[in-house]
Amino acid sequence: MSRKLLFALLIVTLFLAACGPSVTATPAPAATQPPATEQPTATLPPTAAPITLTDGLGRTVTLASPAQRVVSLAASLTEILFTVGAGDQVVGRDEYSDYPEAAKNVTSIGSTYQTLNTELILSLHPDLVVAAGLNSPEQIKALEDLEVTVYMFTNPTDFEGMYEHLHIMGQLTGHEGEAADLVESLQKRVDAVVQKAAGAETPKVFYEIDGTDPAKPWTSGPNTFMDAMISMAGGINIGGVLADPWAQISLEEIVLQDPDFIILGDTAYGVTIESVGQRSGWGELTAVKNGAIFAFDDNLASRPGPRLVDGLEALVGILHPELVPVP
């Protein structure tokens, strides 16, 4: 074949290649077309899966997607929301939610110990209200009757229960990763305290919740976080002999057990360290004579949230300062 003929064929081939799609293309046979269901879908926007959980009342609670407008009816739950990274999603909180500082800027719906301000709650347009054991079933039903979605958390009785609450709140608000990281961090801190306190002497501890009546002050009994925390921090809670979780203990029982430490959870209400020794019958206690009386933020024991670990670390610092490294 001559060079001229080859050149002519090359020109024709290039021309057909440039124009071919609009001129010569023919539809592929039907058998070679992929079914519609096999078309790629990776470029489509993802659809959030519904969240379905069983709450503390045994009710099935379903959210179409993670809640973006949350009202909290308990201070502990408000703390959890902020700690798992959902603080910006909190649009309402109860009057006692004062931590973290940013929580104070959130609209207060009033005290949950009284009738809920349902009108105000509705005006906040929440897609989720979280409640705790301090909220009555009647309060929850009143909100449900208004077609408000409510998830009720039971009061946890141990650290594992508190960790579970963090995981659940992470699911409800779309912060599962942050919640998991938080739980892992808290567990490591708790384990460190328990390991330090293992084998240490176990002093007797009296924890005061309310000393309005010095002859019968209120204290933490068995099955409370303070009872567990004192034990984990290397102490013995003298209130552990009582029948109820929160109960009054007689001065006679306190004198009989003669605590090595007195820890005051009621200093926020006017009780002072100095005033304890001035109480009738208290002056001969070992803790008073040795000056082993300490103030304590009761929120670190009474609010079942992440700050329980802060409370545990504070306790081991009181009972066993020799175990805590000096900064």
Per-residue pLDDT reduced to its tens digit, 303-323? 999 999 999 999 999 999 998
Is the pLDDT confidence value at 283 over 80?
yes
Domain with CATH 3.40.50.1980 in the chain: 51-186, 199-323
Is the pLDDT confidence value at 257 over 70?
yes
Predicted local distance difference test score (pLDDT) of residue 42? 40
Is the pLDDT confidence value at 232 over 50?
yes
Whole-angstrom Cα distance, residue 202 to residue 319?
9
Predicted local distance difference test score (pLDDT) of residue 12? 34
Q: How confident is the model at residue 21 (pLDDT cuts 50, 70, 90)?
A: very low
| DSSP per-residue letters across 224-240 | SHHHHHHHHTT-EEGGG
Is the pLDDT confidence value at 286 over 60?
yes
H-helix or E-strand spanning residue 314: helix 308-319
Whole-angstrom Cα distance, residue 210 to residue 265?
8
Q: How confident is the model at residue 3 (pLDDT cuts 50, 70, 90)?
A: very low
Using alpha carbons, select from 121, 112, 114 the residue that is nearest to residue 70. Answer: 121
Reduce the DSSP state of residue 83 to 3 states and report it. helix
Whole-angstrom Cα distance, residue 296 to residue 307?
13
Mean pLDDT of 190-205: 95
Mean pLDDT of 266-271: 94
Is the pLDDT confidence value at 36 over 70?
no
Q: For residue 191, which amino acid is it?
A: D
Predicted local distance difference test score (pLDDT) of residue 134? 87
Question: Does domain 51-186 bear CATH number 3.40.50.720?
Answer: no
Question: CA quadruple 14, 15, 16, 20: dihedral positive or negative?
Answer: positive
Query: Over the Cα atoms of the chain, what is R_g?
Result: 32
Is the pLDDT confidence value at 61 over 70?
yes
- How confident is the model over 142-193, as pLDDT tens digits? 999 999 999 999 999 899 999 999 999 999 999 999 999 999 999 999 999 9
Class of the 199-323 domain?
alpha beta
Centre a 10 Å sphere on the Cβ of residue 55 and count the other Cβ atoms it contains.
Answer: 18
Centre a 10 Å sphere on the Cβ of residue 122 and count the other Cβ atoms it contains.
Answer: 14
Whole-angstrom Cα distance, residue 186 to residue 159?
10
Mean pLDDT of 115-124: 92
Joined together, the tokens standing for residue 278 give: 């001035």
Using alpha carbons, select from 158, 159, 251, 268 the residue that is nearest to residue 206. Answer: 251
Centre a 10 Å sphere on the Cβ of residue 321 and count the other Cβ atoms it contains.
Answer: 9
Predicted local distance difference test score (pLDDT) of residue 324? 84
Is the pLDDT confidence value at 34 over 50?
no
Predicted local distance difference test score (pLDDT) of residue 48? 65
Is the pLDDT confidence value at 19 over 90?
no
Predicted local distance difference test score (pLDDT) of residue 292? 98
Is the pLDDT confidence value at 10 over 90?
no
Whole-angstrom Cα distance, residue 230 to residue 236?
6
Question: CA quadruple 295, 299, 304, 309: dihedral positive or negative?
Answer: negative
Please check whether residue 227 is in contact with residue 221, taking contact to mean a CB–CB distance below 8 angstroms. Answer: yes
Mean pLDDT of 59-84: 97
Is the pLDDT confidence value at 86 over 70?
yes
Whole-angstrom Cα distance, residue 203 to residue 195?
17
Using alpha carbons, select from 317, 326, 312, 318 the residue that is nearest to residue 292. Answer: 318
Using alpha carbons, select from 255, 168, 249 the residue that is nearest to residue 211. Answer: 249
Joined together, the tokens standing for residue 258 give: 């003669």
Using alpha carbons, select from 257, 255, 215 the residue that is nearest to residue 237. Answer: 257
Mean pLDDT lowest among 133-147, 194-208, 282-296:
133-147
Predicted local distance difference test score (pLDDT) of residue 170? 98
Using alpha carbons, select from 129, 121, 317 the residue that is nearest to residue 233. Answer: 317
Whole-angstrom Cα distance, residue 20 to residue 39?
26
Q: For residue 23, which amino acid is it?
A: V
Backbone angles phi, psi at 17, to 5 degrees: -65, -40
Q: Mean pLDDT score of the chain, rounded to an integer?
A: 87
Distances (CA, A) of 36 to 29, 39, 40, 155: 15, 6, 9, 52
Predicted local distance difference test score (pLDDT) of residue 325? 74
